[in-house]
Amino acid sequence: MKYIVECKNVWKVYNPESSAEVKALRGINMKIKKGEFISIMGSSGSGKSTLLHCIGCLDTPTKGKIYIDGVDVSKLNDDELALVRRYKIGFVFQFFNLVPSLTALENVELPMVFAGIPKNERRKRAIQLLEIVGLGKRLYHHPNQLSGGEQQRVAIARALANDPELILADEPTGNLDSKSGAEVMKVFKTLNKKFGKTIVIVTHDPLVAKTTKRIVKIKDGKIIGGE
């Protein structure tokens, strides 16, 4: 399968047929090839997070189809969707979402705990992943002992824990200064280049988007360029 993601006429309508109705996505058609490094760029409220959540099986479209690695995810039951989220997709969020009471190492191990990986193996792998994101010397720090950029790199290592093919990142630099943001984008670039991961970055920032290989523009829930 050449495409890791295919969206066919995807609509998302919040609170349909009420006074609070919002048509967040209005007929999205988009294909992402395996191994791409792509950004989805648009202003606040354009539908970026909604689209990423639908692609990541965290939310379901009102209409249309999403295929992940050729599989129509609307046909999957809850257990099957949980497996797609656990093994096929890694998420990175704007506010890192690390567990404050756990060390960097334990945060990265957590998805492997849920996947039933034995302790020694998951520890070894978590160390390797933290080394890849440049945090080999921060294994035992807690999130509040790390800078924002370092916390985001822990979150990236955690997203890689179960070796997903697809990394989805929602405004991953949105809470960082420009230097830390550039470091985080460099990590994504390495993951794409060296490890062949498909990476989708959602951003409102043209400078961040420019560091990816393809920019898809979204406005008012529609793709307006780069598709």
Ligand X SMILES: Nc1ncnc2c1ncn2[C@@H]1O[C@H](COP(=O)(O)OP(=O)(O)O)[C@@H](O)[C@H]1O
Query: Do the strands 222-225 and 22-33 form a parallel or antiparallel pair, or are they unpaired?
Result: unpaired
Closest-approach residue to Mg ion (CB): 49
Q: Between residues 47 and 143, which has the closer beta carbon with respect to ligand X?
A: 47
Does 198 bind ligand X (CB under 6 A)? Our answer is no
Q: Which does 68 bind (CB under 5 to 8 A by kind): ligand X, Mg ion, none?
A: none
| Two tokens, residue 148 | 């924002």
Q: How far is the CB of 220 from ligand X (least distance, A)?
A: 9
- Minimal CA–CA distance to 225: which of 65, 50, 30? 30
Residue 174 phi, psi (nearest 5): -65, -20
Contact 51, 61 (CB under 8 A): no
Residue 18 tokens read as: 């009420």
| Amino acid identity at 56 | G
Q: Which does 153 bind (CB under 5 to 8 A by kind): Mg ion, ligand X, none?
A: none
| x/- map, 24-63, ligand X, by CB under 6 A | x-----------------x-xxxxxxx-------------
Phi and psi torsions of 4, nearest 5°: -85, -30
Q: Report whether 195 contacts 128 (CB < 8 A).
A: no
State which residue, 62 or 190, has the beta carbon closest to ligand X.
62
| Residue of 194, 171, 193 whose CA lies nearest to 181 | 171
67 interface partner picked from Mg ion, ligand X, none, CB below 5 to 8 A per type: none
Site for Mg ion in 44-103 (CB under 5 A): 48-49
Q: Specify the residue, 42 or 90, whose C-beta has the smaller distance to ligand X.
A: 42
Which positions lie near Mg ion, rule CB under 5 A?
A: 48-49
Residues at the site binding ligand X, with contacts judged by CB under 6 A: 14-15, 22, 24, 42, 44-50
